[in-house]
Amino acid sequence: METKKEELTFEAALARLEVIVKSLDSGNVPLDESLGLFEEGVSLVKLCNSRLDHAERKIKILVDGEETDFQ
């Protein structure tokens, strides 16, 4: 994949993961290519988890900030 993974949006990374899973599930991919796809998939999962963690932290900060405004 030519795009740097850090530049991918969460949605683009997830879409690429779906393509990888379908390719691996097909059983028609040679072993070396399967390993490369698996490696890319693991990297994309880490990226998605990182983005989700970041979003969760941001939401928590926003919600906590609103709660302190009302007290």
Cα 8 to Cα 30: distance, rounded to the nearest angstrom:
26
pLDDT at residue 60, as a whole number: 94
Per residue of the chain (71 residues), give pLDDT as tens. 445 666 899 999 999 999 999 999 999 999 999 999 999 999 999 999 999 999 999 999 999 987 655 55
Q: How far is CA 63 from the centre of its chain?
A: 24
Region of residue 27 (left: phi > 0; alpha: psi -120 to 50; beta: else)? left
